[in-house]
Amino acid sequence: MRNFRQYGKEIAVGFLPILLVFLIFAGLPAIPLLLGIVMVGGLLLLSRTRGGLAMSAAAKKAPARAPQTLSFDDIGGQEQAKRELTEALDFLVKQDQITKLGIRPLKGILLTGPPGTGKTLLAKAAARHTHSAFIAASGSEFVEMYVGVGAGRIRDLFNEARKQAAKLKLDSAIVFIDEIDGIGGKRDGGQHREYDQTLNQLLTEMDGIQGNESPRVLLIAATNRKELLDAALLRPGRFDRHIQVDLPDKTGREHILKLHARNKPLAEDVSLAKVADETFNFSGAQLESVMNEAAIYAMRDGCEQIGANHLALAIDKVMMGERMDRETTKEERERVALHELGHAIVAESVRPGSVAQVSLTPRGQALGYVRHHPQQDSYLYTKPFLEEQIMIALGGAVAEELHYGGRSTGSRNDFEQATNIARTMIESGMSGLGIVHPQAITTERWAEENAAILEELTERTRTLLGGQLDTFRKMLDILIREETLSGEQLRQQLQAVAA
């Protein structure tokens, strides 16, 4: 097959005259057949060159840029990632020291982490740090139905980076491929020739990067799913550095908020430290959206400054979605209020001070919600903590049972959350099964243990809420009338009942 592809043109050129002579002697019309062959050949040629032309056009429309205006100082919440990336870029900056120590230059840097954490921003800042030409592409741009198009685009991308660096009289160029899992996925031996040829061409280009070439080329790639990448792509000598870009902690979130608040007038009652507390597990992109949405709310209200109330609304919008104008019946509204109060009362009982707000405002798919603010960032969880989390999730359904004698479909997401936490407990050796591999547990045994955990915690939740019926009635009127109940109001009511 390889020889046929290699000598296909020569075979075609030799066969066509013989075919035409045969048709003429046989008395058959040769001209229509000849025109048909020419048309088919033209279409095939067009399809094969389509990818290269598209890549060249794209490169002309979006040429490499140098230097980038974004610096590492403009990126918040990723101090560890910035430190690792800066060290990895030294081979482009400190050439003399690299040569003296005999260090092999890096060929590739892989940035991995959740969406919105700043991987693309880090790549752009790397171009400014090293004063390199910068050209970017997405993994999906190289995938086509025509075999060989993706490989051609990979070649054009690296050639374009070298040309742009030479044109700008720079010593180095950075090629950035976002969502590289689109072309660098694991090969399974199937018939995906286009994917395989594109990946093979990328591997060939990385192998062809030499330390003494001028201009030097560095490949930086980003992915949210490192586990899907092919082993040949991840080995040393190709992607030499794997840098994890995680969600920011509280200090990082506050830093990011300050960066995005530089051009925004904030009122005196705004505390970005408090906002950082209430945005646990938010990415950098979400935090930027919080500040932008808060400015939009201030503009709607005709305010010249962004207040704390605008930031609270912005957090709710980013977390839950836009406010919806849904008409609900009186019974549905009361049921939603009881459901959310069930979550809130359980949360305050097991973790005092954890509730920020209870609201009946429909947002996204939710008819109401409870917003929590963790007292501190946590990454390891104990068995009591997970049990408390399950009780909080079950609080809404148990509250409906106590007042109406049954549940509603509004508890579906709560049950999904509770079962996921129970699964974590089983896999972490915190259940009655002890330490056991998940694959060693049968489906029936798994279901029994899951049911046992949820049944026990449901009874504990029922006992806790059963002694709060008077509190429910008092807060229910306030919540329905005001539509929101602050955490302070909730705690005051609970303290009054306890007294």
Q: What 8-state DSSP symbol labels residue 172?
A: E
DSSP 120-163: HHHHHHHHHHHT-EEEEEEGGGG--SSTTHHHHHHHHHHHHHHH
Nearest to 146 by CA among 266, 28, 53, 258: 53
| Phi and psi torsions of 3, nearest 5° | -65, -35
What are the Cα distances from residue 388, in Å, to 328, 399, 486?
Answer: 31, 16, 21
Structure tokens at 363: 């947002």
Q: Is 10 known to be catalytic?
A: no
Rounded-to-integer distance, Cα 118 and Cα 76, Å: 9
Residue type, 61: K
Q: Report in angstroms the alpha-carbon separations of 398 from 345, 457, 462.
A: 12, 11, 6
Please, which residues bridge with residue 221 across strands?
Answer: 110, 177
Helix ranges (DSSP H) in 238-327: 250-260, 272-277, 284-300, 308-320
Cα radius of gyration (the chain): 31
Q: Which of 136, 143, 120 is nearest to 222 (CA)?
A: 120
The secondary element (H helix, E strand) that includes residue 38 is helix 31-61
Pick the catalytic residue from 205, 293, 340, 348. 340
Cα separation, 233 vs 26, in Å, equals 57
Q: What are phi and psi of 424, to 5 degrees?
A: -60, -40
Q: Are the beta carbons of 217 and 175 closer than 8 angstroms?
A: yes
Contact yes or no for 179/222 (Cβ under 8 A): yes
376-409: burial string, b at 16+ Cβ within 10 Å, e else: ebeeeeeeeebbbbbbbbbbbbbbbbbbeeebee
Whether a cis peptide bond, with omega within 30° of 0, leads into 438 is no
Catalytic residues: 340
